[in-house]
């Protein structure tokens, strides 16, 4: 499958319908897509992720574990908000007495709040600055998804996740990666015990499917076009 604009638009439309089934099955225009995923009001739902530093394997494993542990009603609320996440720079260990986190990695590097309104997150957002990541992503990482093996077969599933890096900051990469991972967990594409290899690549043009999931967003250079930022592919391992 070639990543044409038509394919990308279908992908975005499918994501919107999964998050907002009340919209029905009608055609969704590109302006309509932009309107649906636009920045929310203070009553909109989001998760806040606080990072002391970027440890990509820890971030990947933690995002999957966080998504898998959310109660169904929290999943529904967050998904209606298109799994919006705000990444802030800070030390989770210094914040636990003042703020409640739903999940944290054992090393205390990264912590996630439960989904809540932006208004409820305001004190934490005022305290910390946005996390930009700096530098560059590592060339490739491999992670075992936390949790007990849930696949019916004797062998866990293997996945390759390709992440576009050209013209994308580290902070933006975390946004795209976080969306794809959380929604793949909700959809049962990624589960405990699976093996996941993440490959930063210049762009996804030329990458052929079949794709388990795609992360698609606006092309910053052309408002009338979409761009694929991440792709999840079954590796067969």
Q: Is the pLDDT at 154 greater than 60, yes or no?
A: no
CA dihedral 99, 100, 105, 110 (to 10 degrees): -40
- Pick 226 or 39 by higher pLDDT: 226
**175 burial class (0-12, 13-18, 19+ CB within 10 angstroms)?**
buried
Domain boundaries, the chain: 5-234
pLDDT in tens, 160-199: 999 999 999 999 999 999 999 999 999 999 999 999 999 9
Average pLDDT of every residue of the chain: 89
What is the Rg, in whole angstroms, of the alpha carbon atoms belonging to the chain? Answer: 17
Check residue 165 and give its pLDDT: 93
How is residue 7 written in tokens? 């394919």
- Asked whether the predicted pLDDT for residue 121 surpasses 80, the reply is yes
pTM, two decimal places: 0.90
């Amino acid at each position: 499958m070639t990543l044409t604009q038509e394919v990308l638009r279908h992908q975005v439309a499918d994501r919107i319908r999964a998050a907002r089934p009340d919209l029905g099955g009608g055609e969704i225009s590109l302006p309509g897509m932009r309107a649906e995923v636009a920045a929310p009001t203070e009553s909109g739902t989001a998760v806040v992720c606080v990072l002391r530093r970027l440890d990509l394997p820890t971030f990947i494993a933690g995002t999957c574990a966080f998504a898998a542990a959310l109660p169904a009603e929290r999943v529904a609320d967050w998904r209606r908000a298109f799994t919006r996440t705000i990444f802030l720079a800070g030390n989770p260990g210094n914040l636990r007495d003042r703020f409640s986190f739903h999940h944290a990695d054992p090393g205390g590097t990264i912590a996630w709040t439960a989904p809540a309104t932006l208004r409820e997150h305001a004190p934490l957002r005022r305290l910390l600055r946005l996390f930009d990541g700096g530098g560059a992503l590592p060339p490739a990482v491999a992670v075992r998804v936390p949790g007990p093996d849930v696949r019916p077969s004797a062998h866990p599933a293997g996945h390759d996740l390709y992440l576009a890096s050209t013209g994308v900051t580290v902070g933006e990469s975390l946004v795209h990666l976080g969306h794809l991972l959380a929604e793949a967990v909700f959809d049962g594409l990624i589960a405990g015990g699976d093996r996941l290899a993440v490959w930063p690549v210049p762009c996804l043009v030329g990458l052929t499917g079949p794709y388990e999931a795609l992360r698609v967003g606006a092309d910053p250079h052309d408002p009338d076009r979409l761009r694929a930022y991440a792709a999840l592919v079954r590796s067969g391992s």
